[in-house]
Chains A and B, each alone.
Chain A
């Protein structure tokens, strides 16, 4: 665990009247990392952001920034800044004044303000736009103004509340690169809130997957993608094929009436579990060579790949991402490697899950 976390949540609970929005959240965020809170709307991710920014107060528990308890510190006294979902740029000020807003509040002299604004504009590739009205800026430009406005206050933490959701796909992808690059260059902590798993996977050092006011799983994008703790996470992060299975013994598992070699251990024999296989890990082959045989039901061309849906003879649905074409109605074989089988125990907590992984990975 890090020595000196920049933000911690200790047993944080948040309740609006009868509505419990956050249930016992514990978090430790390190300096200089890119964190993402991922979850569907209403899962409490924005509430966490609001608690860090200070727009709302905890019902129970402690929030610290830089080691100091900030439960009662108002937003204007916190060293964090926010990029709002709708950018919240002041319509009565031009680009320069918007960015200079925080500096003027701090009563900096005109020359320093000018220099700082110029440098942050340059960083966001907005030089020359100083005197533009906000209404004259495009969505992508507004986004960058909003980031510039937050950054030139030199916050310890930058909070981003679904900032890319209003942009079109191309711009959104560009901004993902830009944000990641910016975060690494500046070395400040970013806390990014999104419901878009692709954004989360592409940018984060660490992802917190949330559901109903709880953190279901946290970890690096690769960890979460490869080892989802349960069906919810597996479904939320990317496409997945999930089937019921039974553990035979360590490194051996049975599903769809057959037994396969796998890489999971530490689970009692005959325990009912679930298995995830990612569509891109399934390889189309002849029925003889395949570990599974399915009947192709539909096929969609997605550009980079074909998305093929097939059913095995037990009626389980299998989604395959393949660059090769299949023929609808034909029987095909599906091949996968032992490490492509991800085993999920039903009802396992994150702690138990981590402990189990560690127990046999260290061997």
Chain B
């Protein structure tokens, strides 16, 4: 019995080893070499001494924070309403649907919508406000990034709310709480696990967004993701790129530690 169980685990272990553990070790290894291939700690020294990199890090975290915040502010009420709607499965499907479309395609679609001759500007010019620079602004970057991340926030929150025993709400009401108090004292605390999963699912990928920063943000927002891409593909300084990669990985672990659950029980994961 036990042997069969171990046997089933083999494919996943191989996968894990090849595509998770090995790349992590490679990145760590790479980060100790300079552009000439000599062993060095200089990459880390450069990173921590350079104002550019630290600003970039701060920018990444700040934008990821803003994206997460916007997504959360939109997703929580949506999930809350969704649980109470008829035909919720259909609505949920409509929310998930955009995630099936390639990220790049969505980004290009937004370029079409936001550009100088795009739909939004056509409308603005028609109403007499005049064409505005929308594309390549911080706002457009935040908007598109939030748009793309919203389903990943809605799903875990929706699941947490959906799984909540309705008798908790009755009990709270029965014990004298009105709807607001019930939300504050029962619904929200019990959906926190979903919120945490959602925050993880949104914040961590947002840290290393780089395609959107260029296509929508017009490289005005330079995040660590952009820096890594540049180092690997343009300057070919793999060591420096790996160093930033290591920093990002550490940041992700920190994030998971902060939002992680104290107990293993009652975890709500997105499907």
Interface residues of A (CB under 8 A from B): 53, 55, 74-76, 80-82, 84-86, 88-92, 101-102, 104-106, 135, 149-150, 153
Contact = CB atoms under 8 A, between A and B. Distances in A.
A102 B170 contact: no
Contacts of A92: 189-190
Nearest to A80: B174
7 contacts: A55-B173, A74-B178, A80-B174, A81-B174, A88-B170, A101-B175, A101-B177
Contact of B174 (A75, A85, A89, A91): A75
Contacts of A153: 175-176
Nearest to B178: A76
Contacts of A89: 171
Contacts of A80: 174
A55 B175 contact: no
A89 B170 CA distance: 11
A106 B172 CA distance: 12
Contacts of A86: 165, 167
B266 interface: yes
Contacts of A105: 175-177, 181, 185
Contact of B176 (A85, A88, A90, A106): A106
A84 B173 contact: no
- 4 smallest beta-carbon distances between A and B, as pairs: A88-B171, A102-B175, A88-B167, A105-B176
A57 to B, nearest CB: 14
Contact of A76 (B177, B185, B190): B177
B186 A90 contact: yes
A104 to B, nearest CB: 8
A76 B176 contact: yes
B190 A91 contact: yes
A118 to B, nearest CB: 18
Contacts of B41: none
Nearest to B182: A76
The CB with the most chain A CB atoms within 10 A, among B174, B181, B265, is that of: B174
A326 B165 CA distance: 52
Contacts of B189: 92
A179 B178 CA distance: 29
Given A90-B168, A101-B185, A53 B174 contact: yes
Interface of B: 165, 167-168, 170-178, 181, 185-186, 189-190, 265-266
A104 B172 CA distance: 12
A53 B170 CA distance: 10
Contact of B266 (A74, A91, A102): A91
A85 B173 CA distance: 16
A75 B173 contact: yes
A104 B182 CA distance: 12
A48 B131 CA distance: 64
Contact of A55 (B170, B265, B266): B170
Given A101-B185, A105-B181, A153-B176, A135 B265 contact: yes
Given A86-B165, A101-B175, A153-B175, 14 more contacts: A53-B170, A55-B170, A74-B178, A76-B174, A76-B177, A84-B171, A88-B165, A88-B171, A90-B186, A101-B185, A102-B175, A104-B185, A105-B176, A150-B175
Contacts of A55: 170, 173-174
B176 A102 contact: yes
A86 B174 CA distance: 15
Nearest to B170: A55
Contacts of A150: 174-175
A101 B175 CA distance: 7
Contacts of A88: 165, 167-168, 170-171
A101 B172 contact: yes
Contacts of A74: 173, 178
A150 B165 CA distance: 18
Nearest to A78: B174
Nearest to A106: B176
Contacts of B176: 76, 102, 105-106, 153
A90 B171 contact: yes
A121 B242 CA distance: 59
A81 B172 CA distance: 10
Nearest to A149: B175
Contacts of B174: 53, 55, 75-76, 80-82, 150
Nearest to B266: A91
A89 B181 CA distance: 16
Nearest to A105: B176
Among A53, A88, A102, which residue has the most Cβ atoms of chain B within 10 A?
Answer: A88
A307 to B, nearest CB: 38
A301 B63 CA distance: 76
A75 B171 CA distance: 9
Pick the most buried of B170, B181, B265: most chain A CB atoms within 10 A of its CB.
B170
Contacts of B178: 74, 76
Among B177, B190, B265, the most chain A Cβ lie within 10 Å of the Cβ of B177
